[in-house]
Structure 1
Amino acid sequence: MTSEERWVIAGLGNPGPWFTKTRHNAGFLVIDRLARRHGAEFRWYGTKCRLAEIDIDGRRVILVKPQWFINLSGNPVASVLRTYDVPVERLAVVHDDLAFRFGAVRIKRGGGAGGHNGVRSVTEALGTRHYTRLRFGLGRPPKGQQTGKYVLRKFPEPERSALPAVLDRCADAIEALVVRGLDKTQTELHSAPGAGEE
């Protein structure tokens, strides 16, 4: 199988049970949803990542959950790309984003980190911004609440009840990206009902 037929989808989050289902682990939650959807199990890749491999319409897709803390995600992601000989154009990074309301899902290629240290780490490790990002909207923290505390808290109700549908929307977008490409995925995702940024 050639590198042109492979994708790497990396979800950003923090390892360990304390961080499970916190807002900052939205990337991990999406990757877990994709793995369950395709009946895949994760295995260790050295001490850097947990990996699972799935097939999406004949494309081999490596799902990655870096096991260093989120601010150090870049080195593990870059290592997987090298090992599997996957070009950066076929990397998608899934991460939380405060710029969008909860439930909004956006996909783009390139752009700045927007204050997200995990994204910054990936960009620095790869030496380029030319990879795809699936952004999971969290919304801004309430006035007076520190951003760090906000993203490290678990999803509250009613967000917890809505979370499965949002994760499915993210998983659908990743599958569409792999099969139909970025432009068609952007059109479908961003024009869907309720896709507005506010």
Structure 2
Amino acid sequence: MLIIAGLGNPGKEYENTRHNAGFMVMDALAEKIGADISEKKHKALCGKGVIGGEKVILMKPQTYMNSSGESIRAAADYYKVDPEDILIVYDDISLAPGQLRIRAKGSAGGHNGIKSIIAHLGTQEFPRVKVGVGEKPSRMDLADYVLGHFSKEEQATMDDAVKEAADAVCEIVNVGIAQAMNDHNRKKEEK
């Protein structure tokens, strides 16, 4: 069994903001595999599904971004899942809008949701799919930027990226992270 969690903030005011890229991918993935992410459990909205014969739990933590680790830890304990079987999908401001970066492990890179997960799991050894949302403008506050909405041009790019990220998650489950990294860790113009 795998846990696949997309990070974001609950509530209508945060829908389709940069920080909710993980939630957007979870919605696309749920649609792709015919799952319903609506059960309230583990401080999250959860759903069950199957990808390539593997049972998966899809999660959208409802703890707000900076406390995402509480929800992930609760689910990991309940399902007795090791950190390497927990895939986290989240936004990354160091990547161009729509660019994906898949990693088997790594630091938080300044992302508070990932910092919380590392603190609660006690390890950085969990796979992740980062979805680029673009660098913040120099004079803009980081919180205002990540909680802001995409421009029309960015939204079209993000719609494609969200679908690609859902495909990448399925590829990770089906054929492994190494192949998914080879297929998706390229700059947009290389594709």
TM-score class normalised by the smaller sequence:
over 0.9
Aligned to 1:111: 106
Return the offset for 1:156.
1.1
Return the offset for 1:189.
1.2
Alignment of 1:142 onto 2:142 = no
Matched residue of 2:189: which SS? coil
Q: 1:195 to 1:87 in 2, by over 3 A?
A: farther
8 A Cα contact 2:9 2:19, kept in partner? yes
Q: 1:181 to 1:192 in 2, by over 3 A?
A: farther
Aligned to 1:121: 116
Aligned to 1:50: 45
Which consecutive unaligned segments of at least 5 residues does structure 1 have? 1-5
Task: Give the TM-score, by structure 2 length.
Answer: 0.95
Between the aligned partners of 1:47 and 1:37, the Cα distance in structure 2 is 23
Please list the CA deviations of residues 82-125 of structure 1 after superposition, one character each: whole Å capped at 9, or x if unmatched: 11122111111111011111111000022211111000000000
Match of 1:160 among 155, 163, 166: 155
Between the aligned partners of 2:42 and 2:87, the Cα distance in structure 1 is 21
Between the aligned partners of 1:195 and 1:101, the Cα distance in structure 2 is 13
Return the offset for 1:44.
2.9
Between the aligned partners of 1:103 and 1:44, the Cα distance in structure 2 is 29
Return the offset for 1:81.
1.2
Return the offset for 1:145.
0.9
Aligned to 2:87: 92
Aligned to 1:133: 128
8 A Cα contact 2:97 2:157, kept in partner? no
Please list the CA deviations of residues 117-158 of structure 1 after superposition, one character each: whole Å capped at 9, or x if unmatched: 000000000000000011011111112111110100111110
What one-letter code is carried by the residue in structure 1 that aligns with 2:87? A
Residues 123-132 or 158-167, more deviating: 158-167
Q: 1:174 to 1:144 in 2, by over 3 A?
A: same
8 A Cα contact 1:104 1:195, kept in partner? no
Return the offset for 1:160.
1.2
Equivalent pairs counted in the alignment come to 191
Between the aligned partners of 2:186 and 2:63, the Cα distance in structure 1 is 35
Which consecutive unaligned segments of at least 5 residues does structure 2 have? none
What is the alpha-carbon root mean square deviation over aligned residues? 1.5
8 A Cα contact 1:92 1:132, kept in partner? yes
Please list the CA deviations of residues 20-63 of structure 1 after superposition, one character each: whole Å capped at 9, or x if unmatched: 00000000000011011122112333360110111111000110
What one-letter code is carried by the residue in structure 2 that aligns with 1:125? H
